[in-house]
Amino acid sequence: MNFSNASLLQLAIVTPLGAALVIALGLPKRFATKLAAAAFALPALIALWLWSQFPAEGAQNYQFLSSLDTGLASFGISLKLGLNGIALPMFHLAAIVGLAAGLYALRSSAERLKTYLVLLLVMHGGLLGVFASVDIFFFYFFHELALIPTFIMVGIWGGRDRNYAAMKMTIYLTVGAMLSLIGLIAIYVKSDASTFDLIELKRAIAVQGIGAATQNNIFGVLMFGFGILVSLWPLHTWAPLGYGAAPSSAAMLHAGVLKKFGLYGLIQIAVPLLPEGAAHWAWKLALLASLGNVLVIGFVTMAQRDLKQMLGYSSVMHMGYCFLGIAALSTIGTGGVVLLMVAHGLSVALLFLLATSIHHRTHTFDMSEMGGLAQKTPVLAAFFVAGTMASIGLPGFANFWGELTVFVALWNFSPWITAVAVAGVVISAIYGLRSAAWVFFGQPTEALQRVTAAHPPADLDWYERLPALILLAALLFFGFYPKAISQPVDQALTSTVARTAPVSFQR
Amino acid sequence: MTMLQHAILLLILPLVSAAVIALFLRKRGALASYVSTITAGLIAAISIILLLHGERNFPNASWEWLRFGDFTISLGIKFDDLAALMLFIVGFVGFLIHVFSLGYMHDDAARARFFGGLSIFMFSMLGIVLADNLFMIFIFWELVGFSSWLLINHYHHKQSAADASKKAFIVNRVGDFGFLFGIIMCYWLNGTVSFSELADKAEHGQLVFSTLIPLLLFCGAVGKSAQMPLQVWLPDAMEGPTPVSALIHAATMVAAGIFMLCRINVLMVPAALNVIMWVGTITALYAALCAITQRDIKKVLAYSTLSQLGYMVAAFGLGSTATYELIDLPTNVVAAGVGAAMFHLTTHAFFKALMFLGSGSVIHGCHHEQDIFKMGGLMKKMPVTFWTFTIGVLAIIGMPFLAGFFSKDAILYLAMEKNSAVFAILALTAVLTSFYMVRLWKITFLGEARSDDAKHAHESGLVMTLPLIILAVLSVVGGYSGVFGKLAGSIAELVPEAHGSNHTIILLVSLAVMTIGAGSAWFFYKASANDTLEEKSPSLFRLLGWLKESFDRLYNYYVAKVQQRFAMLLNFLERVFLADTIIGGLGRMVGLVGLGARALYTGSLHTYVYWFLLGAVVLWAFAAGIF
């Protein structure tokens, strides 16, 4: 255990929460924005440092471990933090997207900017905590900490239909979270380990095991609970609506990072602890994800005219690939999901950011009322095209590796499901390129000409460009060097997952 | 520097050039064009060094890029005679087209984007050429698709260009669907996708043969090389600037499909080759028929490219005259027609790039007029373009002693030996080829100028004519064994050669088809403002036009009436049923059954949450099979 690195990890989580507290206590606005900027930047720097400290080999277990007694030790709960190979990339995703969303929010024209920043900082702190938690209780606690500000932000700063969207999002996500909690508590009860510590739980279950029927039931609860949070078809309808209404930074953080909580829970907790349950549910999950998320939602995405709704639906579709990778129950599939989660988080955050930037220039989200914007704003067009290409899985961007490895893994599960999943690549190319063409190419529509005559659009300024550049650079970095993710993930998978799973995790 | 380092440098150079242009030279078009062109020059030089140096199959030229469990994806370099030949074509022709573009794109406002795009394209194309496994080829395969999209969309303010680029990308993705599926299948059945390991396994009889694998992989070639039924994107792709059409849509990228097939020839089985042969043959004939009625100089060339690509694919499918047999194999191993296909690919790259650049010079000279019936009389005004273009035409129609003559004869001879039906169709295609080519040539260059633009046409500058002259020289000498043998090494030995009486027959057939086609076009067409065929036989003209339109109509119908309506229908169902009725209703239903209806209408958010929770639990219990 490296003490200093462990405390850096704690510092990364405490910084945004602390900054939120200070700002909430009444820091003047001009200091508040500076403090917020620092609080968004520091975790990203720490994350980079921890990455460099993560051992390239032999890191099967959690690194940077630390444990704090919170007075709940008698319930088997303690604030235990650490990162394993799967948590490390996710922690980075949270740090990078949080930084980008924060930088973008600093200049937003939102009313009550300080409250907005406080909520965003709390959300950021919660997200970092989720992926750094080794204790299942705190894993859940940090998720709630990040989730509640989302509802408030949608309700206050949301766009069209914000009340309905906020209510629907709250209902769905609360239910999802409750189901997950039930499942997690069931694991705690059935394992007889009297601890929420994931490492201890794994050890206890490896010795005793949980009965197959119990595993099936618990995994089912977790699958639907986490499934709602990740927008598993047909429990996804909150997502396009919620993202359509959410303010950009909240949408970036939720779609980019918080949504991955469910997938992360499945990979890190449900599948390794309940392998037989996972095998029992794999086919059902794969069918829902391939026919529902990929195929049906793929077509639904094609029918969208509203840019943000389109992005929301495309995000639901890409979650289908993540579920499929998990259903494949193999090292390749699970590794592919981690890659895809990071990649999708970066690309969807980039696209939500740019959607807002487009809105500032066109005063609409309706793509059929745009066109020809590339002539006025070439840099914005270039970023949007890059984001689109990333999200439809062009090589050179991180998403490609995730999709490719998931497809490869799926073959062993079922070639037919693979065929459906690969067909999704054509569908996403259709809606992705079409949206880019609608917004940026050809000649502007009359509606847009009226808007641009009144407000001549400027190209992307530096306050929009910097966060976009951070996200794009990360996408390209992982796209050219996927090993940065696959190396730690592979170490974690081949050791912990492969040992506990009765299903073959090696191919 | 070792040869391996040279090869790695080949990949890094254009990537750096593209990055530098994108980051720093966005507003400095002139500088960007020089950076890109100098890079292309270095690439050409390095490819010639690699070609001449003679070192092949570098050891330890593969690097692990990603690993999960025992699944790895590697990037590596496979440099054999096939790669060396393709590398020379891409590097050298690519460089000439860069130089030409310096002149052609001189006044373009978005020059930096154009040359940056060319650099990305060079990077992607070189990646395909040097790839040592199928995953790597797929990566760069997608990237050439992207660069093609970028460059077709160069005039993005034109709706037609935006549509054409989108169409090209999506149609290619349809082909890639099969390609990727085939790669994954090959990986799981054979345990490897490395070309060397596959060849090794084939040699030891350990390869799992399946008709499906080569056919799925061929889907990729069908998309990229625009074979039927995915040929529709290539004619539309002419919306891009003319140098792009020459580089990407004539000489290199569209030929990548044939190159890829040659790479995976060990996986071929007779049934698959048969399908490939027929797809190529039918494409060759269909595209030649479409070319006859075109008015746009680039569209004629585009259909001609389709037709010639069909020739190459057919040649590959026909197989080789040299049969080799391996012992202990479940199926008869057949050698694919690598030699003839690559031979025609090479000569075609020279003469088709020449003609596209020639058409670019014409379009440039005529102030961006592309309708051949509005040209005419350019022979005197643009002598260099005229004479080089004439050499290109002679080469493609198979004039003896020019490059196309040898490569086309090799394919015809192969067809004669293997399959007489294919032979007949390919011979007919050759007649049509000389027919539409002479038509194009006569109407464009001879007679009187038929528009103001043509009257004021001027010869292009040296920077544009010099590439034409060099390509013209290659179009003359490229077919001789002294040249092609040097370029292709062992590939040249695979080219089928007719001997004795067969030689005479092929020579006579070849001369006959050329003379019939060219002669009838020469006497039939008048260099006038109207299409003679349209005047003399409107019904035939309409029939050919319908033939060309039919595919586009069918696909447009599918996209607009089937696909989009299906999407709208699902969207409707999504909104009505899923959004509120089913999920919300399930909760309500459970509420009704369990606790009576009244509790439901409390209007409180909490109650709603709990009903919903209950509904979800019931849903789960149902799915889990509890009741």
Q: What CA–CA distance (Å, rounded) separates B135 from B2?
A: 26
Q: Is the peptide bond before A234 cis (omega within 30 degrees of 0)?
A: yes
A481 Cα to chain B: minimum distance (Å) = 7
Who contacts B372 (Cβ-Cβ below 8 Å, separation ≥6)?
Answer: B295, B296, B297, B300, B440, B443, B444
Verify whether the Cβ–Cβ distance B180 to A425 is below 8 Å: yes
Give pLDDT < 70 ranges for chain A: 1-3, 59, 71, 109-110, 494-507
Please write the tens of the pLDDT for every residue from B428-446.
Answer: 999 999 999 998 888 888 8
Q: What is the CA radius of gyration of chain B?
A: 28
Mutate which of A340, A426, A504 to disrupt the B interface (most B C-beta within 10 Å)?
A426
Please report the beta strands in A113-257, taking only residues with DSSP state E, as ranges in sequence order.
none
Verify whether the Cβ–Cβ distance A483 to B67 is below 8 Å: yes
Question: Which residue, B297, B279, B7, is CA-closest to B129?
Answer: B7
B595 Cα to chain A: minimum distance (Å) = 19
Evaluate whether B1 touches B81 at the Cβ level (below 8 Å): no
Question: Which residue, B338, B320, B330, B313, is CA-closest to B210?
Answer: B330
* Element holding B110 (H helix, E strand): none
Q: Give the residue ranges of DSSP H helices in A363-461.
A: 373-376, 378-391, 398-413, 415-440, 446-454
pLDDT above 70: residue B563: yes
Question: Which residue, B624, B296, B307, B351, is CA-closest to B476?
Answer: B351
Please write the tens of the pLDDT for every residue from B28-39.
Answer: 888 899 999 999
Average pLDDT over residues B214-242: 90
Q: Work out the widest C-alpha separation in chain B, in whole angstroms.
A: 98
Direct distance between the N- and C-terminal alpha carbons of chain B, in angstroms, rounded to an integer: 72
Q: Give the residue ranges of DSSP H helices in A303-376.
A: 307-327, 331-362, 373-376
Evaluate whether B225 touches B255 at the Cβ level (below 8 Å): yes
Q: What is the pLDDT of residue B509?
A: 85
Lowest mean per-residue pLDDT among A401-410, B187-196, B574-583 = B574-583
Which residues in chain B are closer than 8 Å to A217, comparing Cβ atoms?
Answer: 624
Q: What is the pLDDT of residue B600?
A: 42
Task: For residue A278, give the amino acid letter.
Answer: A
- Backbone angle region of A370, left / alpha / beta, with phi > 0 → left and psi within -120 to 50 → alpha: beta
Q: What is the CA radius of gyration of chain A?
A: 22
Vertex A174: Cα angle to A168 and A177 (nearest 5): 140
Who contacts A179 (Cβ-Cβ below 8 Å, separation ≥6)?
Answer: A221, A222, A224, A225, A228, B613, B616, B617, B620
Task: For residue A206, give the amino acid letter.
Answer: A
Q: Is B612 on the interface with A (CB under 8 A)?
A: yes
What pLDDT band is residue B14 in, cutting at 50, 70 and 90? Answer: very high
Evaluate whether A184 touches A136 at the Cβ level (below 8 Å): yes
Evaluate whether B315 touches B416 at the Cβ level (below 8 Å): no
Evaluate whether A10 touches A129 at the Cβ level (below 8 Å): no
A104 lies in some domain? yes
Which residues in chain A are closer than 8 Å to B186, comparing Cβ atoms?
Answer: none
Which residues in chain B are closer than 8 Å to A434, comparing Cβ atoms?
Answer: 166
Q: What is the pLDDT of residue A473?
A: 93
Average pLDDT along chain A: 85
Stretch 574-593 of chain B: residues touching chain A, C-beta under 8 Å: 574, 578-579, 582-583
Verify whether the Cβ–Cβ distance B68 to A372 is below 8 Å: no
A107-146 CB burial, b ≥16 within 10 A, e <16: ebebeebbbbbbbbbbbbbbbbbbbbbbbbbbbbbbbebb
Q: In the structure encoding, which two tokens stand for residue B428, read together?
A: 């007919």
- The CA-atom distances, in angstroms, between A91 and each of A13, A83, B357 are 10, 8, 53
A29 lies in some domain? yes
Q: Is B603 on the interface with A (CB under 8 A)?
A: no
More confident residue, A64 or B147: B147
More confident residue, B276 or B598: B276
Classify the C-alpha dihedral A134-A137-A142-A144 as positive or negative: positive
Q: What CA–CA distance (Å, rounded) separates A122 from A15?
A: 10
SS (H, E, C) B340-368: HHHHHHHHHHHHHHHHHHHHHHHHHHCCC
Q: What is the pLDDT of residue B127?
A: 93
Q: What is the pLDDT of residue A135?
A: 87
A188 Cα to chain B: minimum distance (Å) = 20
Q: What is the pLDDT of residue B369?
A: 82
Verify whether the Cβ–Cβ distance A394 to B146 is below 8 Å: yes
When CB atoms are compared, the residue of A172, A241, A408 closest to B184 is A408
Which residues in chain B are closer than 8 Å to A425, comparing Cβ atoms?
Answer: 173, 176-177, 180
When CB atoms are compared, the residue of B64, B68, B184 closest to A418 is B184
pLDDT above 90: residue B143: yes
Residue B332 class from Cβ within 10 Å (0-12 exposed, 13-18 middle, 19+ buried)?
exposed
Q: What CA–CA distance (Å, rounded) separates B219 from B225?
A: 10
Chain center to CA of B172:
9
What pLDDT band is residue B323 in, cutting at 50, 70 and 90? Answer: low
Q: In the structure encoding, which two tokens stand for residue A329, read together?
A: 């129950």
Who contacts B172 (Cβ-Cβ below 8 Å, separation ≥6)?
Answer: B145, B148, B223, B224, B230, B233
SS (H, E, C) B545-583: HHHHHHHHHHHHHHHHHHHHHHHHHHHHHHHHHHHHHHH
B610 Cα to chain A: minimum distance (Å) = 8
What pLDDT band is residue B598 in, cutting at 50, 70 and 90? Answer: very low
Question: Which residue, A457, A463, A455, A462, is CA-closest to A439?
Answer: A457
Q: What is the pLDDT of residue A389?
A: 93
A376 lies in some domain? yes
Domain with A10, as residue range(s), is 2-61+74-493
A79 lies in some domain? yes
Q: In the structure encoding, which two tokens stand for residue B374, read together?
A: 């509005």
Q: What is the pLDDT of residue B41?
A: 93
A153 lies in some domain? yes
A66 lies in some domain? no
Please write the tens of the pLDDT for every residue from B440-499.
Answer: 888 888 878 788 877 888 888 888 888 989 999 988 888 887 778 788 777 777 777 777
ipTM: 0.90
Q: What CA–CA distance (Å, rounded) separates A274 from A333?
A: 17
Inter-chain CB pairs, A–B, below 8 Å? 173
Q: What CA–CA distance (Å, rounded) separates B29 from A105?
A: 35
Q: What CA–CA distance (Å, rounded) separates B610 from B627?
A: 21
Verify whether the Cβ–Cβ distance B162 to A404 is below 8 Å: no
When CB atoms are compared, the residue of A303, A394, A486 closest to B68 is A486
Please write the tens of the pLDDT for every residue from A364-385.
Answer: 888 888 888 888 888 899 999 9
What pLDDT band is residue B414 in, cutting at 50, 70 and 90? Answer: confident
Q: What is the pLDDT of residue B98?
A: 92
When CB atoms are compared, the residue of B157, B188, B617 closest to A412 is B188
Verify whether the Cβ–Cβ distance B571 to A423 is below 8 Å: no
Please write the tens of the pLDDT for every residue from B195-217.
Answer: 888 888 877 777 777 888 999 99
A319 Cα to chain B: minimum distance (Å) = 17
Q: Is the peptide bond before B229 cis (omega within 30 degrees of 0)?
A: yes
Domain count within chain A: 1
Average pLDDT over residues B555-564: 82
When CB atoms are compared, the residue of A419, A442, A493 closest to B159 is A442
Q: In the structure encoding, which two tokens stand for residue B382, read together?
A: 């643009």
Verify whether the Cβ–Cβ distance B616 to A487 is below 8 Å: no
pLDDT above 60: residue B543: yes
Evaluate whether A208 touches A169 at the Cβ level (below 8 Å): no
Chain center to CA of A138:
18
Please write the tens of the pLDDT for every residue from A236-249.
Answer: 888 888 888 888 88
A226 lies in some domain? yes
Q: What are phi and psi of B296, to 5 degrees?
A: -85, 125
Question: Which residue, B100, B147, B102, is CA-closest to B121?
Answer: B147
Q: What CA–CA distance (Å, rounded) separates B155 from B142?
A: 22
What pLDDT band is residue B594 in, cutting at 50, 70 and 90? Answer: very low
Verify whether the Cβ–Cβ distance A505 to B69 is below 8 Å: yes
Stretch 50-109 of chain B: residues touching chain A, C-beta under 8 Å: 64-71, 73
What pLDDT band is residue B331 in, cutting at 50, 70 and 90? Answer: very low
Average pLDDT over residues B585-613: 50
A67 lies in some domain? no
pLDDT above 80: residue B528: no
Verify whether the Cβ–Cβ distance A433 to B571 is below 8 Å: no
Verify whether the Cβ–Cβ distance B70 to A506 is below 8 Å: yes
What pLDDT band is residue B307 in, cutting at 50, 70 and 90? Answer: very high
Evaluate whether A345 touches A442 at the Cβ level (below 8 Å): no
Who contacts A10 (Cβ-Cβ below 8 Å, separation ≥6)?
Answer: A66, A68, A81
Q: What CA–CA distance (Å, rounded) separates B98 from B119?
A: 10
Who contacts A122 (Cβ-Cβ below 8 Å, separation ≥6)?
Answer: A16, A17, A20, A145, A146, A149
Mutate which of A171, A222, A293, A496 to disrupt the B interface (most B C-beta within 10 Å)?
A171
Question: Which residue of chain A comes nearest to B74, CA vs CA?
Answer: A483
What pLDDT band is residue B329 in, cutting at 50, 70 and 90? Answer: very low
